């Protein structure tokens, strides 16, 4: 089975618990989940697994989410992959950078129930 027929999600966050919880939700709706703890690892895993959805934290060690996304968007394989950014705040510069990189949407990190509710809502739109 090729990646066009598979739903592969790359979940990138420097917090293991966040990756686990989001991964569980994605598996429930049929995604194969690959996870990374920083932007560098995310880029490497994306190139190998060619995900059909990327959920990407903005603030991470080694390479932040915006920098990683900018690099991924240069690769034609990822120019149209939906990306949902996870961010602790909705500061203007982050929003602007995300819009320029054609993110699908944002999830503001607040409490777990709201994150999961918003994630489910966005996945239904894909």
**CATH number of domain containing 68:** 3.40.50.2300
> Which domain range does residue 30 map to?
8-117
Tally of domains within the chain: 1
Average pLDDT over residues 44-68: 94
In a domain, 36, yes or no: yes
In a domain, 51, yes or no: yes
pTM assigned to the model: 0.88
In a domain, 45, yes or no: yes
pLDDT at 5: 66
In a domain, 52, yes or no: yes
For the sheet containing 32-36, what is the strand order?
32-36, 8-12, 53-57, 83-87, 105-108
In a domain, 44, yes or no: yes
Average pLDDT over residues 44-65: 94
């Amino acid at each position: 089975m090729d990646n066009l027929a598979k739903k592969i999600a790359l979940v990138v966050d420097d917090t293991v618990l966040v990756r686990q919880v989001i991964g569980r939700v994605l598996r429930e709706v049929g995604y194969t989940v690959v996870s990374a703890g920083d932007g560098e690892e995310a880029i490497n895993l994306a190139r190998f697994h060619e995900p059909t959805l990327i959920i990407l934290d903005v603030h991470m060690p080694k390479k932040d989410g915006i920098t990683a996304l900018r690099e991924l968007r240069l690769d034609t394989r990822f120019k149209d992959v939906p990306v949902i950014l996870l961010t602790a705040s909705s500061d203007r510069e982050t929003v602007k950078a995300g819009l320029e990189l054609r993110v699908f949407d944002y999830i503001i990190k607040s409490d777990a129930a709201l994150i999961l509710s918003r994630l489910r809502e966005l996945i239904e739109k894909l």
